[in-house]
Amino acid sequence: MEKIGIEQISLAFGFIILMLGLWGILSRKNIIKIVLSFTLFDTGLNIIIVAIGYLKNKTAPILDSAELQTDTASKIVDPLPQALVLTSIVIGLGVTSLLLVYALKLYKEKKSLFINDYKDLKW
Amino acid sequence: MLKNSLILILILGFAAIMLSLFLSYTPSEDLKGVSKHYAEYGKEEVGAANLVSAVVVTYRGFDTLGEVTILFLTASVIGFFLKVNHSKDDENTAVKKYSEILGTSAKILIPLMVLLGVYVFINGHLTPGGGFQGGAIIASAFVLMFIALPQRKISHKVLSAVESFSGLSYVLIGVLGIILAAGFLDNQILSLGTFGSVLSAGAIPLIYILIGLKVGTELTGIISNLKELQNEQ
Amino acid sequence: MIYIIIAIVLGIVMIVMSIIAIHHKNITLAILSAGGVSLVASILYLLLAAPDVALTEASIGSGLTTIIFFYVLNKIKKHKHVEE
């Protein structure tokens, strides 16, 4: 029991949400639902990356007190995955809005949001 | 049915890979490699109290420039797709009656929200936050304005002028880093100052102000494009 | 120990919300619960000692993404209304 920490739990939930997002992307028929599943996939992946950077019994990488400023490397969690996830969230917003605008454009062309109605590349 | 079972097989295979990754994960005790360098020398080299800001703006500043470029490309592709006729949106914007309480409280809240956004990106090198978060908060203030006070207009010329100015200055600061300091986007073109004060950490506050303005105007532009499309018919 | 219990509760809430987001017929409710997943995830980031990421996820992932979804959905609904 003492082996299980908050990072393993977050890692497990991140994997589950990622799988749920993948299931949604592959099985849903409504385009809006597919875009929603993409955002879930994003969230799960971000939780996994942050959980990997977590170290037990250490604090956030913000050096606001004097005791944190000496011998910093043994007192803080890993700042690098957090910086990468910061980038990933902002790009996720860009990708989501672009997908939604494509969906809007598709709807204007064919008057349908269902992916089975788009057969232009099927033979 | 066949399709669903294929999807299920694919998901199960993926889950097996994930499970083996999860079981083989052993939490590490200490920082290793490049993270250790960031933690040990970040205070002397960059001078920012928030080490995440130090990594985002200085150590990995080039990535951040690419990220801002991706956001800019997204905003321009959306603007290209949602071509709106700006000249005629004066007459066909139906001025709906919104609730008095929403309008009045929005008038008080919007300046406070913009102020909070500015606070978040000016203090990005000391406290949690930074240009992206501050920009998003400013964009949310404008979203509140679009919802509660629909008769107010926002000028696209001002938005694009602020955006181009901040993007250009960001690249210019990066080039100044090559000339005056060690390399592209080096923050030591200004003095590092005393650790922990607002005017410290070299160019990081300056770069975060520019990123905040750029992200805020870009997100506002995306949402105002979508909103004008809504008034179209 | 208390943090572990909080993390388990947050994770279960997230899983329930994402199942609602994927499987519910009402698309407005689905969008709201996807926003809720992001909001709960930002609390989890706070427990994982990442306040920067928590702030970003709460303002961008939960706030602006939901708003953009609603704008596009509203536009599609209006289009449908004109058609009929």
- pLDDT of B87-144, one tens digit each? 555 555 555 667 788 888 888 999 999 999 889 888 888 888 888 889 889 999 988 8
Give the domain extent around C69. Answer: 2-83
Segment among B8-12, B28-32, B155-159 with least mean pLDDT: B28-32
Give the pLDDT band of residue C16 (cuts 50, 70, 90).
Answer: very high
- Select from A26, A42, A30 the least CA-distant residue to A100: A30
Alpha helices in chain B (DSSP H): 2-23, 33-45, 51-53, 61-81, 100-122, 131-148, 156-180, 204-230
CB neighbours of residue B12 within 10 Å: 10
CATH 1.10.287.3510 fits A6-60+71-117, yes or no: yes
Domain assignment present for residue B30? The answer is no
Which chain A residues are Cβ-neighbours of C76 within 8 angstroms?
32, 104, 107, 113
Which chain B residues are Cβ-neighbours of C55 within 8 angstroms?
120, 128-129, 133
Domain assignment present for residue B89? The answer is no
Give the pLDDT band of residue B176 (cuts 50, 70, 90).
Answer: confident
The residue among C63 and B90 whose pLDDT is bigger is: C63
- Interface test mutation site (partner B, options C38, C71, C73, max chain B beta carbons within 10 A): C71
Give the pLDDT band of residue B192 (cuts 50, 70, 90).
Answer: confident
Cα(C63)–Cα(C61) distance, integer angstroms = 6
- Specify which residues B50 forms β-bridges with: A62
User: For chain A, which residues make up each domain, given as ranges?
Assistant: 6-60+71-117
Which chain C residues are Cβ-neighbours of A37 within 8 angstroms?
21-22
Domain count for chain B, please give it: 1
Domain assignment present for residue B24? The answer is no
pLDDT at B62: 85
**Which residue does chain C place closest to B225, by CA atoms?**
C71
Cα(A10)–Cα(C14) distance, integer angstroms = 11
Distance from CA of A36 to the nearest CA of B (A): 18
Which chain C residues are Cβ-neighbours of A43 within 8 angstroms?
37-38, 41, 57, 61
- Select from B201, B210, B222 the least CA-distant residue to B68: B210
- Interface test mutation site (partner C, options B11, B96, B119, B133, max chain C beta carbons within 10 A): B133
pLDDT, tens only, A16-74: 999 889 988 888 888 888 999 999 999 999 999 888 888 887 787 887 777 777 777 77
Per-residue pLDDT for A123 more than 80?
Answer: no
Domain count for chain C, please give it: 1
Which chain A residues are Cβ-neighbours of B11 within 8 angstroms?
19, 22-23, 26
Strand, coil or helix: A30: strand
C63–B140 CB contact, under 8 Å = yes
Which chain A residues are Cβ-neighbours of C55 within 8 angstroms?
none
The beta-carbon neighbor of B78 closest among A63, A69, A97 is: A97
Domain assignment present for residue B58? The answer is yes
B55–A83 CB contact, under 8 Å = yes
Mean pLDDT across chain A: 84
The residue among A69 and B69 whose pLDDT is bigger is: B69
Amino acid symbol at A17: I
C38–A108 CB contact, under 8 Å = no
Mean pLDDT across chain B: 81
Q: Could you give phi then psi for residue A30, rounded to 5 degrees?
A: -80, 135
The residue among B123 and B233 whose pLDDT is bigger is: B123
Per-residue pLDDT for B47 more than 80?
Answer: no
Give the pLDDT band of residue C40 (cuts 50, 70, 90).
Answer: very high
A30–C57 CB contact, under 8 Å = no
Per-residue pLDDT for B204 more than 90?
Answer: no
Length of chain B: 233
Per-residue pLDDT for B85 more than 60?
Answer: no
pLDDT at B100: 82
| C-alpha dihedral sign at C44, C49, C55, C60 | negative
Give the pLDDT band of residue B145 (cuts 50, 70, 90).
Answer: confident
Asked if this assembly's ipTM is beyond 0.85, the reply is yes
Domain assignment present for residue B15? The answer is no
A20–C18 CB contact, under 8 Å = yes
pLDDT at A6: 82
Assigned token pair, C4: 């572990």
Give the domain extent around B122. Answer: 36-79+99-230
Chains with 3 or more CB pairs closer than 8 angstroms to A? B, C
**Which residue does chain A place closest to B4, by CA atoms?**
A27
Are residues A40 and C33 in contact, defined by beta-carbon separation less than 8 angstroms? no
- The angle subtended at Cα B57 by Cα B184 and Cα C45, nearest 5°, is 155
The beta-carbon neighbor of B229 closest among C56, C75, C82 is: C75
